[in-house]
Amino acid sequence: MNILIPLLILVPLAFALVIFFSGPRAKAMVPFGILAAALTLLLSIGLCFQVYQAPSTLSQNAGAAQATIAPKVSFISETLRFVLPVSVAGQPIDWQLSFGADGISALMVLLTGIVGFFTVWLASSQIRVRTEAYIALLLVAISMLMGVFLSMDLLSFYIFFEAVLIPLILLIHGWGDGKNPQAASKRFLLFTLAGSIPMVVGLISLAMAPLANGQPSTVAFSELSAIAAQAASSGVPIGSKDSWAVWLLLLGFGIKLAILPLHTWLPMTYAAAHPNTTSLIASVVAKLGLYGLLRIVIPLTPVALSIEAQLVVGTLGAIVIVYGALVALSKDDMREVLAFSSLSHVGFITLGLMSMTREGLGGAALQMFNHGLITAAMFWILSMLEQRHGPIRLRSEDQGMAAQYPKLAVLLVFFTLAGAGLPGLNGFVGEFLTLSGMMRVCTTLVAIAVLGTVLGAWYGLRIVQRLLFGGNGTRTDTHNRPLAGVDLTPREWVPLVAVGFLCLYIGLFPMRTMKLFQADTDRLAALAEPVSKQIHRDMDTLVVESTNP
Amino acid sequence: MQITKAAATHLTPEIILLIGGTLVMCASVLTRKSQREDIYAQRNNFAVASLMCLLAAMAARYYRGVPEIGNADLGLFRFDASALAAERLTFLGGLILILMSWSTAPKGRFAEYYGCLLIILAAIPIVGASNDLVSMFLGLELVSFPTYILLGIVRNDNAGAEASLKYFLLSAFASCFFLLGVSYLFGFCGSTNLAVIQGSFGEGKRLMALGLLLAICGLAFRITAVPFHFYAPDVFEGTSVTMAGVMSYLPKVAGFVALIRLLGTGTLSPGASGVVIPVLLGCAALTMCVGNILAVAQNNLRRMMAYSSVAHTGYLLLALVALIRQDASPGVMYSYLAAYAAMTLGLFACLGEIEAAGGKSHLIGDLAGMFQRRPAASIGLTVALISLIGLPFTAGFWAKFMVFVGTVADRQTDSISMLMGALMAINAVIAASYYWRILSTLYAKSESNVPLRVFRPSLFFAYTICTVLTILWFFVPSAM
C-alpha cells in the first residue's frame, strides 16, 4: 500500500478544486497553484526513488506465470471495486481497480511532474486573463495524467484517459489565441473521442480474455499480461476477436499519438492553443498514445499486433518522420513548425515500439521522456517569444533575435540541437536506440527514418537561422521605432536551464536513467521478441545479410 | 382473491398517487370559484399538494417491504425486481419534474396539470408490474391520456395545438398497432398472460411473431424509436420546457419497461428471439444513426434534444437486446434510464431556470455567454452535457460503458454484435459534436451580458439534485 500514488492524483485535484471554489479570493490563489504543482513534482520524484530502490519482482516469481507488467509499488484498495449490473457468461462483473507504478510509469510520472510544474510556473507570468482558472485546469489535467500513468488496470486507465480531455478542451477553448480556438478544440475533442470511444470495445474484448480459461473477467494488467504471455508461448491461433481488439486499440492510441492519416487534429490544436498549454499537450498528452501502445497493446495482444499491424504501424511511423519534417520545413508560422517537428519526432518512438525488440522498446521509453522535455522546452521558448513579439513567423521581420536576447538564443540553440539528435544530448540516445531496434526487423523503414534525422537537423537549423541571426539586430515595430526587448528573466530561464541540465545528463549517462525501467522493458521484450520473430521469419537476418553479402 | 389482495397491497403507492391525482384534479372546481385567489398561492398550494402525494407514495413504497405472492406467473401483476425498478425510476423522475413544474406550470390550469402528472406517475409502475397484456395496455393508456391533456394545456398557441394534435393522432395510431398485435397473440395462445405467451412460442408460428412485432411497433412509438419518431421534434418544440422533460423521460420509461415485460429476460423461446432480435438490432442501428445525424443539423435547442432523445433510445435498444440474450441483467437498462433522467431532466431544469429568469433558450445561440449571465445554471448544464457525451466522472460514462459491455462482452466472435458496438461508438462521437456545440456556446462571448438574477428555488433544487446525482453515480455505479 503506497501512499504516494493516491496523493499524486489527489493533491493537484484537491488544490484545483480549492482554487475553483475560492470565489472572490481566486485572484490571489496563483501562488497556491504553483505550490500544488511543486508538491506534485516532489511526490513524483519520491515515487521515482521508491521504484528505483524497490527490489525487482522478476526474480521472486521467475518460475510462475510470467506477468509482463509487474508494478514495483502498488496501491490496491477494496473500496475501488466496481460491481456493474452486467453479467458475462452468467457471472456479474466484479472488477477491482488497482494503481501502481513500474519503471515506465515512474518515468512518465516524473515527466508529468516536471513539465506540469514548470508549465504552471510559467503560466503565472504568461497567462494574463483568468490566470487562476487556467492554473486550476492545468492542475486538473496533471492529476488526470498522473491517473493514466499510475493505473494498473484497463478500467481506471480508460477513465483517466478520457477524463484528460475535459480540462484540455477547456484550456484550448478558453485560452487559445490562435486563429480559431473554438474550431480547434472541437476538432481535438471529436478526433480524440473518435479514437477512444471505439477503443472501449477493444478494451472490453481484452478484459474478457480470461473467460477462455474459465476464469472470471478481469481488468488488472498483471493478470491479463500473464494470460497473454501464456497464450503467446503456447501458440494459440488468434481469433477474429483479437484482430478486432487490436485494430480498435490502435485506432484509439493512433489518434492520440497522431499517426499519419489521423494526425490532422494536431497542427490545428497546436496552432490554436496558447504555447504554454501546447507544451503540456505536446510533451505529455501526446505521449498517452505511445504509453498505451507500450502498456496495453504490446503486452496484452502481442501476437495479434505482430501479425496484423506491426509493420503497418511501423511504416506509418517511418512515413510520419519524413512527412512531419518536410511540412515543418515548409511552414512559416513557428507554432506550426514546432507542431510538425513534434509529429516527426513521435514517429521515431512509434518505430521503436513497433520493432518489438529490446533496444527498440527501451529506446522508445527513454525517448518518450526525452521528447517530452525537449518539446516542452521549445514551446516554452516560443511562449516567451510570443509574449514579447506576438505571433512568431520565420520571415525577415523576426530576424536577429540573438543580439537582442542572448540568453534565449543560447537556450534555443541548445534545445534545437537536442531535438536534432546531437550526440551527447538526450535526443541522440533515444533515436539511436529506436532505430537500432527497428534495424533488426526491417531495414527499409530505418533507411526512411534516417532521412528524417537529416531533415530534422535542417528545419532545426532553419529556425535558428531565420529567428536568431541575420538582420541588423535592431528590430522595429510598425511605426519604425526600435523595439525594446528584455532578455529572459530568472523566472523564465530557471525552468529552461533545469530541463537543459536534465537533457545533458541523460545524454551523457543514459544507462543511469535507463536503469529505472530497463527491467520492465526487458521483460516486455522477452515476450515480444519471440512473438515478432515467429511472424517475421527473416528478423535479425537482414542485418547480417546486409553486412555479409 | 388472495392474489388480488396482495396486488392491492403491493400497488399501494400507485393507488395513493391515483387517488391523489384525482383529488388534485377535482380541486379545480374549488379554485374556479374563488377567482380572486392569489395565483402565487395557488401555484404553491398545488405544487406542495402533489409533492406531498409523491412523498406519501414514496413512503408507502418504503414501508411496503417486499411482499411474497405464491404462483406469481398467473396474476395480472407480477412484483419482481423489474417492477420495483420501474417504480424507483418513475418516482425519481416525478420528484424532479414536480420541482421543475413548480414555477413553469401553466397559470390557471394548475389542478389539471398536476392531476395529470400524478396519474402518469401512477401509471408507469403499473406497466412495470403488469404480467398480462390487459393490465399492460391499461397502464400504457393511463400514461397516454394525461399526456394528451398536458400537451394541450401547457401552451395556447398554434405550436402547442400542433404538438398535442400530432401526439394524440400518432399515439392513438400506435395504440391500434399494439392492440392488433395483442389480438394476434391472444388468438394463438388463448391467453393474455405474458408468461403463457412467452412459453408458447415454438418454431413455425410465423403469425405469432407477426403479433409480437406489431406489439413492439406500438411500443416503439412510446420510446421514439425510428421510424416512429416523427412526432418528437414537433412535440418538444411546441411545448413547455418541463413538458419537454416529461416527454423525453416518462414515455420512454413506460415503453421500455413494457418491452422488458413483453419480451422477457431470457424467457423468450429461440424461435421468437430469432425474429425479434434482428428487428430490434436493426431498429437500434437506425434509431442511433438517424437521431444523431439529424441532431447535428439542428439549431433549435428543443429539436436537438428531441433527436438526442431518439439517439438515446437507440443505445437503450441495444441494452434491451443484451437483456433478451441474457448478456446483461435488467440493471443495465435501469441504470441507463436513471442516468438519462439525471442528465436530461437536469438539462431541461437548467433551461427552465434560464427561461424563468427572463433569458431565452430557444436557439443554441440564445445561450451565448450564459456562463457570465447565469453561472449556476451553466454549471448544471455543463455537467449534464458532459454526462450526455459520456465522459468520465459523470453517470453517463457508466451508462454508455455498460451498454458496450452488454453488447460486445459475451459476443466476441459475433461480427454483428461487434459491429453494433462499433456503430454505437461512432454515434457517441457524432453526439459529442452537437453537445459540445451547446457547451462551447455557454462559454462564448456575447453582446448581452446582463446577468439574470431572478432566483427560482424549485428549479434550482431540481437541477442541483440532478447534477449531484450525475456526479455521485459515477463513484457509486451500483446505486444507479
Residue B385 has pLDDT above 50, yes or no: yes
Kindly report, residue by residue over A141-194, the tens digit of the pLDDT: 999 999 999 999 899 999 999 999 899 998 988 888 766 788 888 888 999 898
Q: Where are the domains of chain B?
A: 2-479
Q: Is residue A3, in this structure, part of any structural domain at all? A: no
What does the pLDDT look like over B143-183, one tens digit per residue? 999 999 999 998 888 888 999 999 999 999 999 999 999 99
pLDDT score at A487: 79
CA atoms of A113 and A146, how far apart (whole Å): 8
Judge whether residue B34 has pLDDT over 80: no
- Taking an 8 Å cut-off on Cβ atoms, the answer to whether A193 and B428 are in contact is yes
Report pLDDT for A349. 92
Burial pattern A90-118, b for ≥16 Cβ within 10 A else e, equals eeebebbbbbbbbbbbbbbbbbbbbbbbb
Residue contact A190–B406, C-beta within 8 A: no
Structural domains of chain A, count: 1
What is the Cα–Cα distance from B215 to B137, expressed in whole angstroms? 10
Count CB atoms within 10 A of the CB of residue B290: 18
Classify residue B414 by burial, with Cβ atoms within 10 Å: 0-12, 13-18, 19+: middle
Most distant pair of Cα atoms in chain B: their distance = 71
What pLDDT sits at residue A546? 45
**Per-residue pLDDT at B397:** 92
Is the predicted pLDDT of residue A397 greater than 80, yes or no?
no
Distance CA(A94)–CA(A143), nearest Å, equals 26
Q: How many CB atoms lie within 10 A of CB B107?
A: 10
Report the pLDDT value the prediction gives residue A548, as an integer from 0 to 100: 43
Give the DSSP H or E segment for A79: strand A73-88
**Residue A64: pLDDT above 50?**
no
Residue B59 is predicted with a pLDDT of 92
Give the pLDDT score at A43: 93
B405 contacts chain A (CB < 8 A): yes
Of A87, A186, A197, the CB nearest to B328: A87
Q: What is the pLDDT of residue B410?
A: 76
Q: Do B397 and A159 touch (CB under 8 A)?
A: yes
- Give the residues across from B132 on adjacent strands: B193
Residues of A in contact with B422 (CB under 8 A): 198, 201, 248
- Whether A63 shows a pLDDT value over 50: the answer reads no
Is the separation of the CB atoms in A148 and A104 below 8 Å? no
Residues of B in contact with A218 (CB under 8 A): none
Q: Is the pLDDT of residue A74 over 60?
A: yes
Backbone torsion region of residue A69, taken as left when φ is above 0, otherwise alpha when ψ lies between -120 and 50, otherwise beta: beta
Nearest CA-CA distance, residue B106 and chain A, Å? 37
Compute the distance between CA of residue B225 and CA of residue B245 in angstroms, rounded to an integer.
17
Q: Closest to A190 (Cβ–Cβ): which among B330, B412, B432?
A: B432
* Residue A537 placed within a domain: yes
Residue A398 belongs to some domain of the structure: yes
A contacts of B335 (beta carbons < 8 Å): 85
Q: Is the pLDDT reported for residue A479 higher than 70?
A: no
pLDDT for the residue A1: 67
By the CB < 8 Å criterion, does A10 face chain B? no
Q: Pick the closest to residue A144 from B368, A293, A136 (CA basis).
A: A136
What does pLDDT average to over chain B?
A: 88
Above 70 in pLDDT, residue A544? no
Q: Is residue B344 a contact partner of residue B380, using CB atoms and an 8 Å limit?
A: no
In the predicted structure, residue B305 carries a pLDDT above the cut 90: yes
As a whole number of angstroms, the distance between CA A227 and CA A206 comes to 10
* Alpha-carbon span A261 to A295, nearest angstrom: 23
Exposed, middle or buried, A53 (CB in 10 Å: 0-12/13-18/19+)?
Answer: exposed
Q: What is the pLDDT of residue B414?
A: 80
> Among B78-82, B97-101, B277-281, B449-453, which is the least confidently predicted range?
B449-453
What is the residue whose three cell numbers read 411473431?
B209
Is the per-residue pLDDT at B249 higher than 90?
Answer: yes
Stretch B468-476: mean pLDDT: 92
Yes or no, beta carbons of A205 and B408 under 8 Å apart: yes
> Per-residue pLDDT for B121 more than 90?
yes
Q: Which residues of B451-476 are buried (b: 16+ CB within 10 A; e: fewer)?
A: ebeeebebbbbbbbbbbebbbebbee
Mean pLDDT lowest for which of B47-56, B206-215, B228-237?
B206-215
The torsion of the CA quartet A64, A69, A74, A80, rounded to 10 degrees, works out to: -100
* Confidence class for position B89, pLDDT limits 50, 70, 90: very high
pLDDT recorded at residue B35? 59
- For residue A57, the SS3 value is coil
pLDDT tens string A186-226: 888 999 898 888 888 888 888 887 877 777 888 888 888 88
Find the residue in A nearest to B334 (Cα).
A85
B242 close to B348: Cβ distance less than 8 angstroms: yes
Backbone torsions φ then ψ of A153, nearest 5 degrees: -145, 160
What's the mean pLDDT in A249-264?
Answer: 87
A189 grid coordinates: 475533442
pLDDT at B296 over 80: yes
pLDDT reported for residue A59: 47
Residue A455 lies in a domain: yes
Q: What is the mean pLDDT of residues B258-268?
A: 83
The Cα of A281 is separated from the nearest Cα of chain B by a number of Å equal to: 19
Do residues B161 and B120 lie in contact, with contact meaning Cβ atoms separated by under 8 Å? no
- In the numeric block, the cell 433551461 is attached to B351
In a domain, A496, yes or no: yes
Contacts of A78 (CB under 8 A, 6+ apart): none
Q: How would residue B443 be classed by pLDDT, with cut points 50, 70 and 90?
A: confident
The helix (H) or strand (E) run that includes residue B159 is: helix B158-189
Please write the tens of the pLDDT for every residue from A371-392: 999 999 999 999 988 888 777 7
For A68: left if phi > 0, alpha if psi spans -120 to 50, otherwise beta; the answer is alpha
Task: Provide the grid cell at A108.
Answer: 512518465
B336 touches chain A (CB under 8 A): no
pLDDT number for residue A56: 63
Cβ contact, residue pair A162, B397, below 8 Å:
yes
Instruction: Give Cβ neighbours of residue A254 (< 8 Å, ≥ 6 apart).
Output: A195, A262, A289, A313, A316
The reply to whether A216 touches chain B by the CB within 8 Å rule is: no
Domain that holds residue A512: 309-477+486-549
Whether A106 is in a domain gets the answer no
Residue B71 has pLDDT above 70, yes or no: no
DSSP string, B262-319: HH-SS-S-HHHHHHHHHHHHHHHHHHHHHHHHHHHT--BHHHHHHHHHHHHHHHHHHH
Can you tell me the distance from the alpha carbon of A142 to that of A85, in angstroms, rounded to the nearest whole number?
A: 32
Q: What is the pLDDT of residues A488-526, one digit of tens each?
A: 888 888 999 999 999 999 999 988 888 888 888 888 888
pLDDT at A238 over 70: no
For residue A333, the model assigns a pLDDT of 86
> Residue A549: its pLDDT value, please?
39
DSSP bridge partners of A88:
A91
User: What mean pLDDT is predicted for residues B203-219?
Assistant: 83
Q: What is the nearest CA distance from B323 to chain A, expressed in angstroms?
A: 9
Residue A138 lies in a domain: no
pLDDT bucket at A128, cuts 50 / 70 / 90: confident
- Across the interface, of B332, B390, B421, the residue whose CB is closest to A85 is B332
Q: Is A407 within the bounds of a domain?
A: yes
**Cell matching residue B80:** 419482481
